[in-house]
Amino acid sequence: MRRPLLPLLLASALAASTTARAETPMSYMHTFGPAGDPVTQLNWGLTAISVAVTVIIGALVLLAALRKRPPPQLDAQGRLPLGRGRGGMSWIYVGIAVTVLVLFGTTIWNVLVLSAVSKPPQQPALTVEVTAHQWWWEVSYPSDSPSQTVTTANEIHIPVGEPVLFKLKSADVIHSFWIPKLGGKTDLIPGRINRAWLQADQAGRYRGQCGEYCGAQHAHMALYVVAEAPERFAAWRDAQLAAARSAASAHDLAAHGSEVFVQHCGVCHTVRGIEAHGRLGPDLTHLMSRATIAAGQLDNNRGNLYGWIAGPQRLKPGTRMPRVLLDPQELRDVVAYLETLK
């Protein structure tokens, strides 16, 4: 029995494209929310139109080149007579009319898309403040009461299915906030607050990336948006509001590690609950709740914490994080302490 080849080919191409999509965390060709979907449809639509124009024009040029013409009729003196042949002008008019119609249509489509993504479908209930630093993201969930304000870094949790307002600031140079699967870019500019909104219609982890060259480690300035069910988001927020657990209750290494931390790291980092109130680096109160360190560059695990603290300039040359001179035991204890910051 002969197998139908075309459906098989189509099915395998579709499977391959779905797999490829899952493996491209930064794809803007497939979006998951109303801030990105209209742009994606426009993107695919314009691509289809461009391909159609190229194919049609290519075919017409080929047709004209291959068309057989009758041999020219020479006059009595053997010369080629000059004169206007049968007019091809109607083709020109038709071509111009079609072009104008298509361009006019896509202009209107563009304006409609701009209008659709300019504001969210409903008033956002949640506001997230994002401050870009060279080279990491400070994330805070402001509240009227300071005790209800959550501060974290490089990982933004949002409830799924509702729009979230982002207030975007920069602490140094111009950066750009970009979560390709959720929406377009918005710059973060020193001295001003830009606003953007995003909505994730599907729960998941969406990778983002600084979209504006901001210095040597621009490429290592990633962030994640974690969209989760509203109850899970509320639970995450409650957990983030709590102060760090007392290290003394953990074990001796961690208790010593917390002293080392206050002495060597507290100038730059905050851990709520101990004498560490620095604001230069990320808030580490719930460090272990985050999947990565160094703005998405390294997985957050014991080995990478060792490596990062022992040699930040080796892993991320130019980072503001200096190498702190710790002896091996201090290093071990600090990492043990950090691992209690759940």
Residue 84 per-residue DSSP state: -
Q: For residues 254 and 247, what is the distance between their CA atoms, to the nearest angstrom?
A: 6
Nearer to ligand CUA by Cβ, of 218 and 264: the residue is 218
Near ligand CUA by CB under 6 A: residue from 157, 175, 256, 269: 175
99 is written with which tokens? Answer: 């072009």
Q: Is 157 in the site for ligand CUA (CB under 6 A)?
A: no
Specify the stretch interacting with ligand CUA by CB under 6 A; choose among 157-165, 177-185, 206-214, 262-270.
206-214
Asked whether position 162 contacts ligand CUA by CB under 6 A, the answer is: no
Instruction: Note whether 122 and 164 are within 8 A (CB).
Output: no
Alpha-carbon span 309 to 268, nearest angstrom: 13
Spell out the alpha helix ranges (H) of 142-301.
230-241, 252-264
**Smallest distance from the beta carbon of 65 to ligand CUA, in angstroms?**
49
Pick between residue 218 and residue 320 the one whose CB is nearest to ligand CUA: 218
For position 218 contacting ligand CUA by CB under 6 A, the verdict is yes
The CB-of-260 to ligand CUA minimum distance in angstroms stands at: 31
Distance CA 89, CA 111 (A): 33
Cβ 137 to ligand CUA, closest distance in Å?
Answer: 9
Interface with ligand CUA by CB under 6 A: which range of 101-109, 161-169, 189-197, 205-213? 205-213
Q: Mark 105-144 with x for binding to ligand CUA (rule: CB under 6 A) and - for no binding.
A: ---------------------------x--x---------
The answer to whether the CB of 264 falls within 8 A of the CB of 270 is no
Query: Which parts of the chain are beta strand (E)?
Result: 126-133, 136-141, 150-153, 155-159, 164-170, 175-177, 186-188, 194-198, 204-209, 222-228, 270-271, 276-277, 292-293, 298-299
Beta carbon nearer to ligand CUA, 183 or 266: 183
Asked whether the beta carbons of 160 and 201 are under 8 A apart, the reply is: yes
Closest to ligand CUA by CB, 210 or 338: 210
Three-state SS sequence of 173-216: CCEEECCCCCCCCEEECCCCCEEEEECCCCCEEEEEECCCCCCC
The reply to whether 331 sits near ligand CUA by the rule CB under 6 A is no
| Smaller CB separation from ligand CUA, 172 or 201 | 172
Binds ligand CUA (CB under 6 A): choice among 113, 150, 164, 214: 214
Alpha carbons 222 and 176: distance in angstroms, whole number = 11
Please give the residue ranges that form the binding site for ligand CUA (CB under 6 A): 132, 135, 175, 210, 212-214, 218, 221
